[in-house]
Structure 1
Amino acid sequence: MVRAGSGKTLMRRRKRTRKLTKGFRLSRHNLYRQSIVTLIRARKFAFRDRRRKKREFRRLWIIRINAACRSRGFRYSLLICGLQNANVILDRKSLSEIAIHDPEAFTQLVELAKKHLPKGLS
């Protein structure tokens, strides 16, 4: 005999899947087979983009810091090198926030980095 395909357990599982695909367009949210395929695809993109978001934010912070450095006649790479030599422990996110909201403090950080650069660089 074939197994029953309309029991409570099966209906509950399908209902749970449809609930997860709420907001998807057209039949992708209410036809079970399409909702499974779409849900797998959506979860794959979500997994990938959680990591991509971190990369994109780091790129944004570096661009902001570089722009703030260039306006002070300095380069991003030299700033990072000088701050590492000065044992300043600030990440890119906080450096970009300082550059935007507190330009005077960022200018002081640039001067500190200039002081701690090796002899050949400046």
Structure 2
Amino acid sequence: MPRATNSPASRRRHKSRLKLARGFRGSRSKLFRQATEAVDRAQAMAYVHRKQKKRNFRRLWTVRINAACRTNGISYSRFIDGLAKANVTINRKMLSEIAIFDEAGFTKLVETAKAAVA
């Protein structure tokens, strides 16, 4: 009786892994073992970076809000504290959009925060 191999399944497995490695440079897209390592690392980093993306955007919004606050004569922390005390619930993403596109509206928010802190 001839020896049975796992040829169809392993070929399918190799092809699918090499397909994921398209676009990688050199042997990382040609050789199965190197492609496997490269794809595993790429997927792990993609997971990590999806989490970091959220952190980075929050940092960006904070920097933008802080810059707009400084031009209105208040620090970022006092501004956020004032909004919390005034029961204004706007997330940082929207605050940064307001700071960029609606300076008059942001100035009113700053005045609200200043009144609540004082």
| TM-score where L is the length of structure 2 | 0.94
**Which residue pairs with 2:109 in the alignment?**
109
Whole-angstrom CA distance in 1 between matches of 2:3 and 2:55 = 51
For structure 1, the 5+ residue unaligned runs are none
**Which residue pairs with 2:15 in the alignment?**
15
Q: How does 1:22-33 map to 2 (within 5 A)?
A: 22-33=22-33
Matched, 1:99 2:112: no
**Which residue pairs with 1:47 in the alignment?**
47
Q: Supply the AA of the counterpart residue of 2:84.
A: Q
Deviation of the 1:4 alpha carbon: 2.5
**Which residue pairs with 2:5 in the alignment?**
4
Q: Supply the AA of the counterpart residue of 2:58.
A: R
Total equivalences in the alignment? 117
RMSD: 1.5
**Which residue pairs with 2:74 in the alignment?**
74
Partner of 1:116, secondary structure, is helix
**Which residue pairs with 2:60 in the alignment?**
60
Between Structure 1 and Structure 2, the one with more helix by share is: 2
Taking a change above 3 Å as real, the CA distance of residues 29 and 81 of structure 1, as seen in their structure-2 partners, is same
| TM-score where L is the length of structure 1 | 0.91
Q: Percent identity?
A: 49
After TM superposition, what 4+ stretches of structure 1 lie above 4 angstroms from structure 2? none
Taking a change above 3 Å as real, the CA distance of residues 44 and 2 of structure 1, as seen in their structure-2 partners, is farther
For structure 2, the 5+ residue unaligned runs are none
Query: After superposition, what is the alpha-carbon deviation per residue over 1:71-115, rounded to whole angstroms, capped at 9, x for unaligned?
Result: 111110011001001111101110000000000000000000011
Whole-angstrom CA distance in 1 between matches of 2:41 and 2:83 = 43
